[in-house]
Structure 1
């Protein structure tokens, strides 16, 4: 905010330094940059005044490319102001001028903006045409990320218009272009919409694949809000294939994100109301997953445990102990739990181990001995520094809880 205010103040000083009557082009250029800066700060009335002044300052015959750039910026300001019809006219004029000047990238950007406002106006065919042209233009000058955004919006426009089957190809291309451009946010966005298209078309398995692709672009710790959105959508697709444990697990993982949007939370909560909200689904998922998938599944689930209420974490720990005792692969499950634990930030280890040992304390002597043995065997496979660290954590917490059994 301070940097933006400083830049605006500098531009205002430049206007004084270059009065319009003596330096018309320099003055108009400063007004243009000031208008963009004010738009970015949400000061739309002042932005309009600056951009309108810039438009007057650039001579129509000699500086029509500069006027096109101002019109493009004016369109962005008008769109934010809710004056979408005027924004469309500004973007249209800018795109035509850029086309006449042979400025392909600028024309592509203007037609992309035009597509957005045409869609907002409910004119899907015009939006479709604008996005399609934008994609071709931007791809022709090798702007892969921008071309990917245009084709993604093309697919989104068709999806929103109910043209489901024609939405698939552009969205698949959007995923590919974003991947080639290393635009992870764009790749995730295109894959998520593609998943919704398949879900609407009652192709849940393809929807699951698309949502899982989107999740690889939205790590929980980096893009939590997007992660929650896609997890909630994945849960719906899993519900369609009657994979209840995975559907409930995905919904809980969406709900565990504090910044998840309210519609995402409502959707996830509604699914759990339909399917039930019993703890311990992760064990049922592991029962049918190949062992090589266990680390990723457990890492994601323990990350959720970190963020939930301690009472819910204790309930999940109780279900885990119950499930581990009931399965022949108890030692393997303990190893998966320990491996996932060690991948979490160090500050989270104590809370998770405390919940586990509190749940273990409620079991009888024989059961405690079995679980302790399985966890100890899993820990014995670790490198010595990790082993010593975990042994210290487990033993210290056990002592605090009044549990006499040691962890060695």
Structure 2
């Protein structure tokens, strides 16, 4: 008695399908070979041959005839059979009539508890809603829409005592089920015999809704094509819940709800494959299992296929399957098990795209970076921005690309990106077309990033070009970070050394204000390699100095930074580069100070001061003088340090006209911060706190959040020493709110310790102990020399000698 929509709407065996089958066997072709030659999915061809589809569209029939090499009368008969099949498919209705039964419940539904709860809420709302409730489940091909709908329908069956029905609308087929055929199936499921069924769609709709009055019924409309197909099938009466699965958003449906399905979390993806292949087997190789989930993009269909492959091959290790999937060129081939194929799921959506959208889908898959904006998409394809928006909307509606929360940005699922590249290379001339796309994107990204970065030079009164202000340039650099970094990487591989070096050179001043957010080591290492390839010794010295700065300032790797700056000093000397030699000496002084070698640091910075006289104030002199003051303070000479820093504050006003407002503000805030440290060393805590507060406010104005947080820590310590514990705690908590990124773990650990000291003074011993435990955990994870020293100090506080067992003997 069970029936699917395909059987109801298309009838029994298809004459055209039998004809295809005979010709395929006569030609000695497999289904996969014929489907590939004709540009069809294997599923579509299989459905034709088994009679699940009555015929093919005109172009598909011609493609099959071409693939089968049919000519003359054979070809004419073949195409005529297809035409007659199309005519019959629009009106055929199975006469027997049977309930539209739910598909079997999907075992091992993992990671969808939130969505199931949303569907429970929708079922509850359907009781009172005047027009019932309609929920569309939308997402990428293979994300598990049908599995979720089936699981929800079985789960909610007790809430719908008058019936639960499922229809496959075959929205991805060449000939989706018509509204008339679907309504006929629904009416027969509700007890209307075919001879008594209304003749027109409007009459069918009225009859359908009248039959549902006073009933509680759930419908699953699976694999919908579009709003036009679905709209007549919506019950719109109280007590009904309609679940629709579709690869498009169906945004035109009135009063609907939408649940967007994302790929699983990494943990849920591993749990899914473990439920299929065996938990012990997956648990034995946790790293390989995590990589397997990553290679599958956490896509449920891909994870099920991977699990099935492991389950059917008990001799395989997880690592072996991972090794098969690492090759991007064969990953989609490897993700197949029986009739489950990731590529086939993608192919169905791809075939329904317009021709221009297909080309855009393929071209954009080669863009550098994890996401992209409309601008670079237009540049890479040579299309106007308005036209590009139309194609991107079509791709996003088909869920072949993901529209990001930020307006105008898009991304690919990893497997869809591979599929898009594969299709593009097959349908075009291949490598030359790909090179055109990549070169256009890289040119645009490198040129724009270099131009934007120049706005951050201390003496840049206005860099001009495509950016109208530093703020606009900053927004572009922040938004396109991953893309211009990827473009630099591609340019380095392509041997475009001058452009790679130009970008690295321009980015230093931007790096100063984004020191914690980006992998600067990679950016400047590529610049260094480019300088060496070009035999540009002065540029090599500069890149070494920038790389050394990253290693101590961003990564806290003092030993590596010391070696890097020593090499920079040597190269600058060999090249006769006075400016980079002075900068190398200053950087060495900073690193030596960090390492506790104060006398050596002072000697190096004095040499840097002498060499910096030929530098401009904003590009060298001011920074070197501030460093001299820092080292004098560390050497126990805070009054001399204070004098130096106050002189720098005076110079700032003298040379103010030669710098941008942002440069002046940042430099002034740094100098005020150093004056605060000098006053703190002199135990003038209230004045020190006020200087730190002034520095914080200027950092905040410039949106220098990391620097503002560091100044907040210093202000907090100063207020604590001045006796204002409440103000101290406020400052330290403000800093902790900023130190959340992995790169800020050392700063967070230090701040936790300072907050613990402050809380102890207010009698909050429990909270203080908890903060120390958190700091100790961070220090152990960091493992740097400074972190190990702080960890040892924290361990002594937690276990003082008077409490140790040996001290009690």
**TM-score normalised by L of structure 2:** 0.28
Q: Tell me whether 1:121 sits opposite 2:635 in the alignment.
A: yes
Separation of aligned partners in 2, 1:193 and 1:136: 23
1:189 equivalent in alignment to 2:703: no
Partner of 1:36: 545
- 1:77 pairs with 2:599: no
How far did residue 192 of structure 1 move?
0.9
- Give structure 2 stretches of 5+ with no counterpart: 1-520, 550-560, 801-809
Residue in 2 that maps onto 1:88: 605
Hey, what does 1:287 align to over in structure 2?
Answer: none
- Measured in 2, the distance between the counterparts of 1:253 and 1:196 equals 19
SS in 1 for 2:636: coil
Aligned to 1:50: 571
| Match runs of 1:130-149 below 5 Å | 130-135=644-649, 137=651, 140=656, 141=659, 142=661, 143=663, 144-149=665-670
> Is the Cα contact below 8 Å between 1:32 and 1:51 reproduced in 2?
yes
Residue 226 of structure 1, CA deviation: 2.1
More moved, 135-144 vs 87-96:
135-144
Is the Cα contact below 8 Å between 2:716 and 2:727 reproduced in 1?
yes
* Cα 1:207–1:47 shift into 2, 3 Å: same
CA gap 1:71/1:8 in 2 versus in 1, 3 angstroms: same
Closer/same/farther in 2, CA of residues 212 and 4 from structure 1, 3 Å limit = closer
Tell me the TM-score normalized by structure 1: 0.51
Contact 1:39 1:77 in 2 (8 A): no
Please say if 1:216 is aligned against 2:737: yes
Q: 1:273 to 1:201 in 2, by over 3 A?
A: farther
Q: Which residue of the partner structure matches residue 164 of structure 1? A: 685
Between Structure 1 and Structure 2, how many residues are aligned? 250
| Counterpart Cα distance in 1 of 2:709 and 2:681 | 18
Shift of 1:199: 1.9
Q: CA deviation at 1:159?
A: 1.5
Q: C-alpha deviations, 1:115-138, integer Å up to 9, x for none?
A: 233334333223223333445555
Task: Tell me by how many angstroms 1:216 deviates.
Answer: 2.4
Aligned to 2:746: 225
Counterparts of 2:743 and 2:523 in 1: how far apart (Å)? Answer: 25
Q: Which moved more, 1:69-78 or 1:237-246?
A: 69-78
1:355-388 Cα offsets, whole Å, 9 max, x none, are: xxxxxxxxxxxxxxxxxxxxxxxxxxxxxxxxxx
* Deviations 1:21-61, CA, capped at 9 Å, x for gaps: xxxxxx77446436636755624443332222344x6xxxx
CA distance in 2, matches of 1:197, 1:265: 23
Is the 8 Å Cα contact of residues 105 and 138 (structure 1) preserved in structure 2?
A: no
In structure 2, distance between residues paired with 1:37 and 1:215:
28
1:170 positional shift: 1.3
1:107 equivalent in structure 2: 621
Q: 2:531 aligns with which of 11, 16, 23?
A: 11
> Does the 8 A contact of 1:191 with 1:214 survive in 2?
yes
- Partner Cα distance (1:45, 1:246) in 2: 45
- What CA RMSD, in Å, does the superposition of the two structures yield over aligned residues? 3.5
Q: 1:161 to 1:68 in 2, by over 3 A?
A: farther
Say which SS state the counterpart of residue 763 (structure 2) adopts: coil
Structure-1 separation of matches of 2:590 and 2:767: 41
User: 1:259 maps to which residue?
Assistant: 781
